[in-house]
A and B are shown apart, each in its own frame.
Chain A
């Protein structure tokens, strides 16, 4: 018997398929992966430490930089946790708009995912189609929030502003058009023999393995486990909307792809319902003047409103002592915030539950015993964003 020697190969941190700065240390037995060790932290900015020195409204801006493909979802998770701590209720119109924007953001994030994931596996065309539609969403979100990447638009107590009149017609046009666009991606990939060969039975995880590794989001549901925070702990009026949770069976890369495509169709349904049912009314909590700044017109006229505005902007607001955990279903999985408050205007401790970080923990389990060429497919199928993993 000839002696077997393992070869160690570094993949990353600068590798186009690692979607950022992820380094994988692979021990190879020929082309088969014997051991994989992810090295992370290249993008660590110490957000949890930074948040301890910022007031609650200031720390919101940090969340934009977590999963930078879906900043509005991160804003939402942060605000829900702080609002739970403050125990304030949000008007229906703001809740519906939050849902609408979070779902648009989910579609945009999934489009970015399908584009880059297909590109990694050599199907370049999908990128151009997906980016065309993602651009439509980004333009709509820019119309409302004024920013593409770092909106900080969902604020504690409601929204930064109401939507402009031109927004809803564009949303309706998008909703009517989008199912056809998803059909187009499906034409390119779903029955594509090369795509199937590169994704089916690759990097599989069983339902039990997913649960043990704490995996959430589309990866968990592709393995046949039904857990979606939107249904399990409905937040922001998700119980008012009619949608399904797409599920997979085999838990391989192909099923994760199918789940995400179906999720885009469901998100589109939610966006349509939110646009149709959108109630009139204010977009920030009326019962929490210590949290929500007064309307701009009032600030120009009334000295006490001006003082209140500056007080909130400079000093933030105090929260009651206690601990809360609140989470949302982001495009990657369960995104949660755990706050410990000491009664001051700054979080005593802010713990982020980043879905990508915990999902990436299952990567070695997925790829050990698989071929080295499939690592790219496996990384893509988890849909990692390093901004969220490293924080």
Chain B
């Protein structure tokens, strides 16, 4: 395994929070204890030797057969050191993850997307609501048990007249 400064520093600073470090095809991934996520992320962003200042992407994954069921992956990039790192957080069904939207503003929409498609709530998020799907959508489509065609594909659209329903429910 090639040397990874961030992994060594994390192991040193948060020995109990780093659950595993793996490398595959040159990508380094660190599995981190969910409750220490914010400490780890703040450290990775602010420490001189790591400086992961860009949150590239966030992805939820439903590992149906595993326990805990979900994980959330954070892909980080350091513009100063030109390095990439992936942080993974295991999340049990129904558990919440602490928001990182105040550490990186980019996480605001990314967390909304993970919440929308997986139903993983983020504690402390300023405005956690659906982003890609309509507000009245039922279910979280990227969960593995959600059928590919959806649950209502063969049912007609309900007709909602404004005078019957009162005002429209737009934000």
Contact = CB atoms under 8 A, between A and B. Distances in A.
Q: Do A and B come from one complex?
A: yes
A338 interface: yes
B25 A85 contact: yes
A324 B106 contact: no
B21 interface: no
Interface in A360-391: 361-362, 365, 390-391
A211 B54 contact: yes
Interface residues of A, number: 47
B95 interface: no
A96 interface: no
Contact of B105 (A52, A212, A225, A348): A212
B157 interface: no
B44 to A, nearest CB: 14
Contacts of A336: 56-57, 75
B89 to A, nearest CB: 14
A40 B131 contact: yes
B19 interface: no
Interface stretch (A41-49, A100-108, A139-147, A282-290): A41-49
A230 interface: no
Contact of B142 (A40, A48, A338): A48
Contacts of A46: 141
A211 B53 contact: yes
A48 B148 CA distance: 11
Contacts of B146: 49
Interface in A57-87: 84-85, 87
Contacts of B4: none
Interface string A333-352: 01010101000000011010
Contacts of A324: 24-25, 27
Contacts of B62: 349
Contact of A357 (B54, B55, B56, B109): B109
B141 A214 contact: no
Interface string B44-59: 0000000001111101
9 contacts: A37-B171, A49-B142, A209-B105, A212-B106, A214-B106, A214-B110, A226-B79, A322-B25, A358-B109
Question: 6 closest Cβ contacts across the A-B interface?
Answer: A214-B106, A351-B59, A353-B57, A41-B132, A361-B109, A322-B24
Interface of B: 24-25, 27, 29, 53-57, 59, 61-62, 73, 75, 77, 79, 82, 84, 86, 104-106, 108-110, 117, 130-134, 141-142, 146, 148, 171
Given A49-B146, A349-B59, 20 more contacts: A41-B134, A44-B132, A46-B141, A209-B105, A213-B104, A214-B54, A214-B55, A227-B79, A232-B82, A323-B24, A323-B27, A323-B73, A336-B75, A353-B57, A353-B75, A357-B109, A358-B57, A361-B106, A365-B105, A390-B132
